């Protein structure tokens, strides 16, 4: 993992103050799981924050759907 990818998804200046530690952990986990599917950092962050259906994304990519199309479908 490159240094840029290792940066936290929730940064102090952009994180809503109402996010709990547990919410932050879930958001980071979702981001990492989406990254594993081949989405770039921006797409992964957008999908994680939007609450996109992770199972749908896994199925689409697993069935051969290009990640870029899976993003469009999931959003």
Chain segment 5-16, per-residue pLDDT in tens? 555 555 444 444
pLDDT band at 17 (very low <50, low <70, confident <90, very high): low
Cα three-residue angle 68-72-74, rounded to 5 degrees: 110
Instruction: Taking each helix axis as running N to C, give the angle between helix 67-74 and helix 54-62, from 0 to 180 degrees, rounded to the nearest 10.
Output: 150
Q: What is the pLDDT of residues 30-51, one digit of tens each?
A: 999 999 999 999 999 999 999 9
Q: What is the dihedral of CA 73, 29, 2, 57, to 10 degrees?
A: -20
Could you give the CA distance from residue 75 to residue 28 in angstroms, rounded to a whole number?
19
The more confident residue out of 19 and 69 is 69
Instruction: Taking each helix axis as running N to C, give the angle between helix 21-36 and helix 54-62, from 0 to 180 degrees, rounded to the nearest 10.
Output: 10
């Amino acid at each position: 993992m490159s240094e840029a990818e290792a940066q936290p998804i929730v940064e102090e200046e952009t994180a809503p103050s109402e996010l709990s530690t547990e919410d932050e952990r879930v958001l980071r986990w979702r981001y990492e799981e989406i990254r594993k599917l081949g989405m770039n950092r921006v797409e992964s962050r957008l999908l994680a924050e939007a609450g996109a259906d992770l199972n749908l994304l896994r199925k689409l990519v697993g069935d051969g759907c290009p990640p870029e199309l899976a993003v469009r479908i999931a959003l």
